[in-house]
Amino acid sequence: MIQRPRGTRDLLPPDTRLWQAVEGVAREVFGSFGGEEIRTPVFEPTELFVRTVGESTDIVNKEMYTFPDRKGRSLSLRPEMTAGVARAWIENHLGDRSQPLRLYYIGPMFRYERMQHGRYRQFSQIGLEIIGADTPLADAELLAAMHEFFVRLGFLDLEIHLNNLGDPEDRGRYQEAIRAALAPRRAELCADCQRRLEENPLRILDCKVPACQVIAADAPGMDELAGDASRQHVAKVETHLQRMAIPYVRNHRLVRGLDYYLRTVFEVVSPQLGTNTVLCGGGRYDRLIADLGGPAVPGVGFAIGEDRLVEVLPARFKDAVLARPAVYVVPLGEAAQTQVLELARNWAREGVPVEVEITGRSLKAALKRADREGFRVVAMLGDDEISARTVTVRDLVAGDQSAMPLADLPVWWRALTPVSPPARRGNV
């Protein structure tokens, strides 16, 4: 039997309903902040990720799916999305449009990672980028959209970690400070971090090996060595967050795993999965587009790991989505069998979710299935109902049963299942 590749999975109903619901909230929230969707290829020239993500990062060194095409050109499945968005911005002359642009995306990414809980080699990200604004207000707006997204999902206990990575001009000074602080304990670092100590010491602060995390605690914070401009920038971001009552903590060891970040960086972690498991991360990348050959255009963005997010969705959101508020239409008799699809289509056109019994089950068997599958309503159509142009409905939650004209079912259904306004309260 042929099986799926290791590190991938099949998303099956009813779980796909959760994914659709989460993505629907993302489109609604990011759209309400002025965002529009962008879709880029799942594979790009390998050089794009080497130049943007960083040649010394684990993503480029160990995790990318890279292959030559039939003409020998090196291509890679995208390990992240921001680089592709930046490439698309340049190639499609998006700078000719009114700036800033707010672009969101939803789609699969690929990294050959060590298998562990909540981590897959094909995984999905939801992200938002604001390109064309270099102000602290842009960072704060992005964080506000992110916060609102999590609030709409019902999260109360996620933690936002925020830090200042300084400007590129500060990077060399900070790397030397890290080397000086950690060199005496070089032998205690993992093999990767011993290499990072020479190539890119900032990566040590992002290492997930517990022993390296303890040693990295001795390194100075970037904010101590950053220039005045970056410190003032991040301080203003914090002021905006405080005014909006968006809770956060300052994490002076936060660096993120990509080389293009500067100034504001942040992560969202879930206590349920542990502080090493990041649900969302992002930051400012003002030099990225210029590094790819475009103009000097600033940007800030984040990406949410959808696989992990779905695993820790609040129970209230999951229960509401997985409930099956649909009408199970059961035809009983020849006349009903003849007309049931036309009736169901008409109800569906008026917004009633319907599922028709098409296998010939008896009423007794259909009611058992309805209870087992969690249907809200069973609509029974027999010869008598067809003659009288009525339908008998049974509310399986309330235990009530009544008859009504066929045309009245959509109105009755809308009264039974009113649309609740999205949740607006809670903290991340």
Q: What is the pLDDT of residues 151-206, one digit of tens each?
A: 999 998 888 999 998 888 887 788 888 888 888 888 888 988 888 888 888 778 77
Average pLDDT of every residue of the chain: 89
Question: Which residues, 6+ apart, have CB-to-CB distance to 412 below 8 Å?
Answer: 393, 404
70-88 average pLDDT score: 96
Task: State the Cα–Cα distance between residues 167 and 12, nearest whole angstrom.
Answer: 45
Work out the number of other CB atoms within 10 angstroms of the CB of residue 149.
24
Task: State the Cα–Cα distance between residues 425 and 153, nearest whole angstrom.
Answer: 10
Least confident stretch, 13-27, 255-269, 348-362: 255-269
* 192-207 per-position pLDDT tens digit: 888 888 888 877 877 8
- Residue 420's pLDDT is 47
377 near 394, Cβ under 8 Å?
Answer: yes
Please tell me whether the overall predicted TM-score, pTM, comes out greater than 0.75 for this model. Answer: yes
Task: State the Cα–Cα distance between residues 352 and 297, nearest whole angstrom.
Answer: 47
Q: Is the pLDDT of residue 363 over 70?
A: yes
φ and ψ at residue 43, rounded to 5 degrees: -125, 145
Looking from the CA of 108 toward its CB, the CA atoms found within 13 Å total 11
Using pLDDT thresholds of 50, 70 and 90, give the confidence band for residue 60.
confident
Sign of CA dihedral 223, 225, 231, 237: negative
Least confident stretch, 47-61, 89-103, 165-179: 47-61
Higher pLDDT, residue 44 or 324: 44
- Please state the domain extents for the chain: 15-167+226-317, 325-416
Using pLDDT thresholds of 50, 70 and 90, give the confidence band for residue 331.
very high
**Beta-bridge partners for 131:** 101, 299
The fraction of the chain above a pLDDT of 90, given in percent, is 65
- Report the DSSP pairing between strands 74-77 and 43-45: antiparallel
CATH classification for the domain delimited by 325-416, as one of 3.40.50.800, 3.50.50.60, 3.40.50.11890, 2.70.70.10: 3.40.50.800
Q: Tell me the CATH class for 15-167+226-317.
A: alpha beta
Least confident stretch, 52-61, 68-77, 392-401: 52-61
Q: Is the pLDDT of residue 423 over 50?
A: no
- Residue 33's pLDDT is 97
Sign of CA dihedral 365, 366, 369, 374: negative
- Residue 16's pLDDT is 96
**Beta-bridge partners for 382:** 332
